[in-house]
Chains A and B, each alone.
Chain A
Amino acid sequence: MNAEFIIAAIVTIVNVTTPILLAATGELVVEKSGVLNLGIEGMMLVGAIAGFAVTFEISNNPGLADAAPWLVGAAPWLGVLAAAAAGAAVSMIFGVLVLSLGSNQVATGLALTIFGTGLSTLIGESYVGMAGQSFDSIFPDAWAEDPIGKLFFGYSPLVYIAFIAVFAVYWFLNRTRAGLVLRAVGENDVSARSIGYSVVGVRYGAIAFGGAMSGVAGSYFTLVSNSLWQPGMTAGRGWIALALVVFAGWRSGRLLAGAYFFGLFMTLELYAKASGFSFLPSQFWAAMPYLMAIIVLAVMSARASGGAEAPACLGKTYMPDA
């Protein structure tokens, strides 16, 4: 095992980790505001197809290539924006039901996943089998030539965005007044309202942010890890993101560490498929991230003495009678 192999492995880990990190960062904010959105998987799929479709339509439009070549160059960026918008848009269905109509968060989140899966398949019908444009590194190729350079400059911009987002969310939650309000809403909705904060307003904002982040996470699958669309291609990674938030004990710092821990196991799956850790069947390695998630949840939950770290209002319906 040489240094080059290790660096290649780290690059792979970073690549497989980024989408779950993006989605989990969004969900962290949602859960901190006291809302449990189980629709991540669905929002990711909607983001994945929105990102692919917009990028594809812009980069394969001959008229546009002549009129506005810069637009074609920016196609993946616009695709990511579209993915964020699409994720936020479908998250608002969840928002209206849960916040304005007081529906059960677990069931509504599941409905969102089922809906997103169907909607993305519907929109994506005509894009199956199409080769899309990939959203590669924006640094000069020369920077990523040697292995060490590759370790830092060899990624899609989304990788850096995911990093920045984790730190931005940490700063927002712990260092800003708005973040304090959001946490207060998640810890004690009745008190937060009594001192004049709009519980529902804050939660709408948090849900929209979570939706946008899930959308971007989804676009990673269609713009970075593959340059194509396949129905259901997120393959349960949205659920891993949910587990990650619990694993992190609702803290941004641990979110980052946890994401890479899961990424390690997902990478093992890829290596097992490619070169074969043949002493165990490949299906075992494919099941590994999910098994690890369960084991890790058990360890964390046991240590946290009954989920004491979770926001106190997480998952509870809030609907004042006044």
Chain B
Amino acid sequence: MRIRFEKRREPSKLMQAVTPVVAVLLTMVIGAVIFEAIGYDGPRAVKEIFFTPITASYKWPDVARRAAPLILIALGLCMGNRAKVWNIGAEGQYIVGALAGAGVAYFTENLQGPWIIPLMVLAGIAGGALWAAIPAFLKTRYRVNEILSSLMLVYVALQLLNYLVTGPWKDPNGHNFPQSAPFTQWQSLPKMLWGTPFPPGLFIAFSLSVVFWIVMSRSEFGLGVRVVGEAPKAAKYAGYDADDMIWRTLLISGGMAGLAGVLEAATQGGQLNLGFPSGYGFTAIIVSFLGRLHPLGAVVAGIVLAITYVGGQVAQTVVHVPNATAGIFQAMMLFLILASDVLVRRRIRIVRPQPSAQPAVQVAGSAM
């Protein structure tokens, strides 16, 4: 008796919705067992990581501030991954977006006006898009694998940040710390908006998720993205230009990452320093898959991942688990969601051994 996966004619909608939930639940179970096994209070760790950030309302602002960049970046990545354009370098675009915003701040230091913040945000989007334009150009012009080029550019962006905050943009009054000058009130956004515990970025993320949802499900462009990703040959016959799709998805996902970066800098940081890169660009990849590459799924998944960040810190102080714990839980979630993909496309069938002996090798005619 053995287990076999049989192909479904259509991907199962039910499984698509159920498996992410199961993946999160399984992560909790497996995580509890593993942490118990290596000498921590496993169930307690899971409780602190996944539930305390929800039940303790004073943790909500923290969850919200982490969910905002994760959702923003993941919205762009969902679109790219749908088209099978693999932008792995969102972290770099996030950094360059923040740098572009900080550049505007640097040149408007002595200026005032409500126009400065919108200008910074636009510069951030442009910066992120520009950084993503490099892999797009290399892919469409020279067929360079975008996974590698976008990723290499993360390391270049890190060095660019390092150079700017230790060199030209270093705060003259910063006691020689590697940081930019603090943003003025005209260059900053409030940490919470309209009496809610939520930052502006979260409202922008929620609104954009609806926009992305409509674009992906209702527009010609959204259809093109899906067709190019699922059936590239059919897309070609239908007249969709794959290169055009590469450009658009990379520019959009880069712009979203840049937006997340500049909002983070203007809302939370108040300045740029070497500690700015946070890995959101990489975690957003998990968010996009956990959200099943759906814009609304990305919102839910972004909140879940934000919870694990905040909960990881809680568990660190309460149960004394190491600070790498949240990362391991996040990776486990991604493993499980990818593993469960098989259930969306296939159904499990238990095969009993048949009495008649089957030929071990099937001859495939003129295949070779």
Which A residues are closer than 8 A to B by beta carbons? 38, 93, 96-97, 101-104, 106-108, 110-112, 114-115, 117-119, 121-122, 125, 188, 190-191, 194-196, 231, 236, 239, 242-243, 246, 281, 283-284, 286-287, 290-291, 293-294, 297-299, 301-302, 306-307, 319, 321-322
Contact = CB atoms under 8 A, between A and B. Distances in A.
Contacts of B142: 297-299, 301-302
B64 to A, nearest CB: 23
Closest CB pairs A-B (n = 10):
A194-B364, A118-B327, A121-B324, A115-B331, A118-B328, A283-B163, A287-B159, A103-B338, A283-B159, A111-B334
Interface centre among A101, A114, A122, A321 (most CB of B within 10 A): A114
Given A102-B5, A298-B138, A298-B144, 18 more contacts: A96-B339, A97-B339, A110-B285, A119-B324, A119-B328, A121-B322, A122-B322, A194-B363, A196-B361, A239-B152, A239-B155, A243-B152, A283-B166, A286-B159, A287-B155, A293-B152, A297-B144, A297-B148
B342 interface: yes
Contacts of B5: 101-102, 319
A322 to B, nearest CB: 8
Contact of B328 (A115, A188, A302): A115
B257 to A, nearest CB: 16
A156 to B, nearest CB: 26
A101 B335 CA distance: 11
Interface string B329-368: 0111011001101100110000000000000111110011
Given A118-B331, A194-B367, A243-B148, A107 B289 contact: yes
Contacts of B362: 194, 322
B218 interface: no
Interface centre among B143, B149, B153 (most CB of A within 10 A): B143
Given A101-B339, A119-B328, A287-B160, A191 B152 contact: no
Contacts of A107: 81, 285, 289, 334, 338
Interface of B: 5-7, 81, 86, 88, 134, 138, 141-145, 147-149, 151-156, 159-160, 162-163, 166-167, 282, 285-286, 289, 322-325, 327-328, 330-332, 334-335, 338-339, 341-342, 345-346, 360-364, 367-368
B148 A293 contact: yes
Contact of B156 (A121, A195, A287): A287
Given A103-B342, A114-B331, A118-B327, A38 B147 contact: yes
B126 to A, nearest CB: 21
B180 to A, nearest CB: 15
A164 B300 CA distance: 50
Interface centre among B152, B282, B322, B341 (most CB of A within 10 A): B152
Nearest to A120: B324
A125 B322 contact: yes
Contact of A122 (B81, B145, B328): B328
A113 to B, nearest CB: 8
Contacts of B154: 236
A195 B364 CA distance: 8
Contacts of A301: 138, 142-145
B82 to A, nearest CB: 12
Nearest to B151: A239
Contacts of B148: 239, 242-243, 246, 293-294, 297
Contacts of B324: 117-119, 121-122, 125, 231
A111 B341 CA distance: 14
A294 B364 contact: no
B155 to A, nearest CB: 4
Nearest to B341: A103
Contacts of B364: 190-191, 194-195
A301 to B, nearest CB: 5
A105 to B, nearest CB: 10
14 contacts: A101-B5, A107-B338, A121-B327, A122-B322, A190-B364, A194-B368, A239-B155, A246-B148, A286-B162, A294-B148, A301-B142, A301-B144, A301-B145, A319-B5
Contact of B335 (A115, A291, A298): A115
B335 A236 contact: no
B330 A114 contact: yes
A208 to B, nearest CB: 18
A321 B7 contact: yes
Contacts of B325: 118, 122
A299 B149 CA distance: 13
B367 A190 contact: yes
A108 B338 CA distance: 7
A218 to B, nearest CB: 16
B156 A291 contact: yes
B2 to A, nearest CB: 12
A85 B342 CA distance: 28
Nearest to B145: A246
Contacts of A284: 159, 163
Contacts of B327: 114, 117-118, 121
A321 B334 contact: no
Contacts of A101: 5, 338-339, 341-342
